[in-house]
């Protein structure tokens, strides 16, 4: 098996991708991937090698991803807009042999300290002549003779996706060919996506939602995926209406943005047959606003990187506002209380998941894997929920302190670590706070060193140099001390109380 086979069998003249107003048919896409697979093999990429992708939503991401996994190598999609220190950490953590950059990420890559990523042997650029000396271009590699898809075992890794969803600081979740195949088949079994669909692909492809639900599942059914680099409600609405898009997946922040954009006509989404929301809870008010104003019912789902994307879906049944739906066929769910027992219907419990889509663990981190994955295969998600008599799940809260900004996971410890790197910061605490556009935003509470002279803007700018923008605090509060328990552990739920001592 190999997940690259999802592209097989579709009509050669059917359109697979629309990217930057350029169409690529399935025949053209398969041909480009076949040649690039040969090009990667010619520079020594083989089974198990890690290839980091610093690419935005576009054709180059798609062909590089499938060429990589088709060799039995492992794709590592990274945020192309991450600052150099973050990229250095992630690339070093997985020991990437090859890095693929685009114009979008070329500037950041130029700031990467190559001594921090010693395993990188080759840099490939989508733009000829772009990148440091010695960089090869995708076009050059596309001239290589094609090589066949390598057959692999179901438990061979296909991708490493960085996440902090269930185990603290960012770690690379291993997603196998079997994991990906299982989730694609679970999604296809709902019969929601059709070959005639045009899917709006603005969700970043380095995010599991964009990677496996939008791109891989969309291409697996033979649909057309329209890849979009950035979201703004006006341009998105024009594209959806003008091109008659039929499927729109997005994070709650996207749907909320549409409802807050007063200029959108009521018929903006008349072509949309399926509207999907995931990555965090969709506000019930947003559901009603989309339905009442545009006639669109947004179906919620629930999943994690560690489950290869999805666990539950609202599709295939009448949508219940506030619910993320029921489990896919082949996926088991339990709600567990603090004593380790299944809760009664209507009681709150932690979501545990088991199925072929559940990952085997974090790359090179057995202790972190053991924290979240039981010996008999149950993933302990850290998310709290209630189930009704019909098996519909309602998310309540997170057992951990994860913050979700526009669908992206932000773990407070990572941001706190960056803040305390500043010479004027003694300690820091970070929480998520509600935000009308992004769902949540990062708020930091900082204790500065004696006689320090630092302001909010300076600390935010400092963070921008070390982590992605969505992880940076939007608000910094200066306090005299942080709340801690008797063992000295930071009590984040009491951080707002710290303001009273400032």
* Candidates 3.40.50.150, 3.30.960.10, 3.30.70.2740, 3.30.300.30; CATH matching 403-501: 3.30.300.30
Q: Which is nearest to 355 in space by CA: 299, 312, 399? A: 312
State the Cα–Cα distance between residues 122 and 133, nearest whole angstrom.
11
Q: What superfamily in CATH does domain 198-398 come from?
A: ANL, N-terminal domain (3.40.50.12780)
- Quick one: pLDDT band at residue 397, thresholds 50, 70, 90? low
Q: Is residue 445's pLDDT more than 90?
A: yes
Report the pLDDT value the prediction gives residue 130, as an integer from 0 to 100. Answer: 59
Q: Is residue 190's pLDDT more than 50?
A: yes
Report the pLDDT value the prediction gives residue 502, as an integer from 0 to 100. Answer: 40
181's enclosing H/E stretch is: helix 177-188
The SS3 assignment for 361 reads strand
The reported pTM is 0.87
* Top-confidence residue, 399 or 32: 32
| Parts of the chain belonging to CATH 3.30.300.30 | 403-501
The average confidence (pLDDT) of the chain is 92
Report the pLDDT value the prediction gives residue 324, as an integer from 0 to 100. Answer: 96
| Parts of the chain belonging to CATH 3.40.50.980 | 17-152
| HSE-CB for 384 with a 13 A CA cutoff | 13
- For 26-65, what is each residue's pLDDT tens digit? 999 999 999 999 999 999 999 999 999 999 999 999 999 9
| Parts of the chain belonging to CATH 3.40.50.12780 | 198-398
- Quick one: pLDDT band at residue 200, thresholds 50, 70, 90? very high
State the Cα–Cα distance between residues 299 and 276, nearest whole angstrom.
5
- Report the topology of domain 17-152: Rossmann fold (3.40.50)
* Top-confidence residue, 482 or 244: 244
Q: Is residue 282's pLDDT more than 90?
A: no
> Mean per-residue pLDDT for 351-356?
97
> Mean per-residue pLDDT for 401-419?
86
Report the pLDDT value the prediction gives residue 133, as an integer from 0 to 100. Answer: 67
- For 253-266, what is each residue's pLDDT tens digit? 899 889 988 889 99
**Residue 466 contacts residue 421 (beta carbons within 8 Å):** yes
Report the pLDDT value the prediction gives residue 384, as an integer from 0 to 100. Answer: 86
Considering only 134-138, 324-328, 358-362, which range has the smallest mean pLDDT? 134-138
> Mean per-residue pLDDT for 69-96?
96
Q: Is residue 488's pLDDT more than 80?
A: no
- For 113-167, what is each residue's pLDDT tens digit? 999 999 999 999 997 665 666 689 999 999 999 999 999 999 999 999 998 555 5
State the Cα–Cα distance between residues 299 and 187, nearest whole angstrom.
14
Report the pLDDT value the prediction gives residue 260, as an integer from 0 to 100. Answer: 86
State the Cα–Cα distance between residues 342 and 311, nearest whole angstrom.
18
């Amino acid at each position: 098996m190999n997940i690259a086979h999802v592209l097989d069998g579709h009509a050669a003249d059917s359109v697979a991708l629309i990217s930057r107003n350029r169409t690529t048919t399935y025949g053209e896409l398969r041909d480009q991937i076949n040649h690039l697979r040969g090009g990667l093999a010619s520079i020594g990429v083989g089974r198990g090698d890690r290839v980091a992708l610093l690419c935005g939503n576009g054709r180059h991401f798609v062909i590089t991803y499938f060429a990589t996994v088709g060799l039995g190598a492992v794709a590592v999609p990274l945020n192309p807009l991450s600052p150099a220190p973050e990229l250095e950490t992630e690339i070093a953590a997985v020991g990437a042999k090859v890095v693929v950059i685009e114009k979008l990420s070329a500037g950041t890559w130029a700031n990467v300290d190559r001594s921090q990523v010693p395993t990188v042997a080759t840099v490939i650029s989508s733009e000829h002549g772009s990148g440091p000396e010695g960089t090869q271009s995708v076009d050059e590699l596309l001239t290589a003779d094609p090589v066949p898809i390598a057959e692999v075992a179901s438990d061979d890794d296909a991708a490493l996706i960085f996440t902090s969803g269930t185990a603290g600081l960012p770690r690379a979740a291993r997603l196998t060919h079997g994991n990906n195949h299982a989730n694609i088949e679970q999604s296809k079994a709902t019969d929601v996506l059709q070959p005639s669909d045009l899917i709006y692909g603005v969700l970043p492809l380095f995010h599991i939602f964009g990677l496996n639900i939008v791109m891989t599942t969309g291409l697996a059914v033979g649909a057309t995926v329209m890849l979009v680099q950035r979201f703004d409600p006006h341009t998105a609405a024009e594209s959806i209406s003008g091109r008659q898009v039929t499927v729109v997946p997005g994070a709650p922040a996207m749907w909320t943005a549409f409802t807050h954009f007063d200029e959108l006509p009521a018929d903006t989404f008349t072509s949309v047959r399926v509207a999907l929301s995931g990555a965090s809870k969709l506000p019930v008010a947003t559901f009603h606003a989309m339905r009442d104003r545009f006639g669109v019912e947004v179906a919620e789902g629930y999943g994690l990187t560690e489950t290869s994307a999805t666990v539950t879906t609202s599709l295939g049944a009448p949508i219940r506002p506030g619910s993320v739906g029921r489990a896919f066929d082949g996926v088991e769910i339990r709600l567990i209380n603090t004593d380790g027992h299944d809760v009664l219907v209507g009681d709150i419990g932690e979501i545990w998941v088991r199925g072929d889509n559940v990952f085997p663990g974090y790359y090179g981190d057995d202790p972190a894997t053991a924290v979240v994955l039981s010996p008999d295969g149950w993933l302990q998600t850290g998310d709290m929920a209630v189930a009704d008599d019909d098996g519909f799940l309602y998310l309540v809260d997170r057992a951990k302190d994860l913050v979700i900004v526009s669908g992206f996971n932000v773990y407070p410890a990572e941001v706190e670590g960056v803040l305390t790197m500043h010479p004027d910061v003694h300690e820091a605490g970070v929480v998520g706070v509600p935000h009308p556009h992004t769902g949540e935003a990062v708020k930091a509470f900082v204790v500065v060193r004696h006689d320090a002279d630092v302001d909010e803007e300076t600390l935010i700018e400092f963070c921008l140099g070390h982590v992605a923008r969505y992880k940076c605090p939007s608000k910094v509060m200066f306090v005299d001390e942080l709340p801690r328990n008797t063992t000295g552990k930071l009590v984040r739920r009491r951080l707002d109380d710290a303001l009273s001592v400032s």
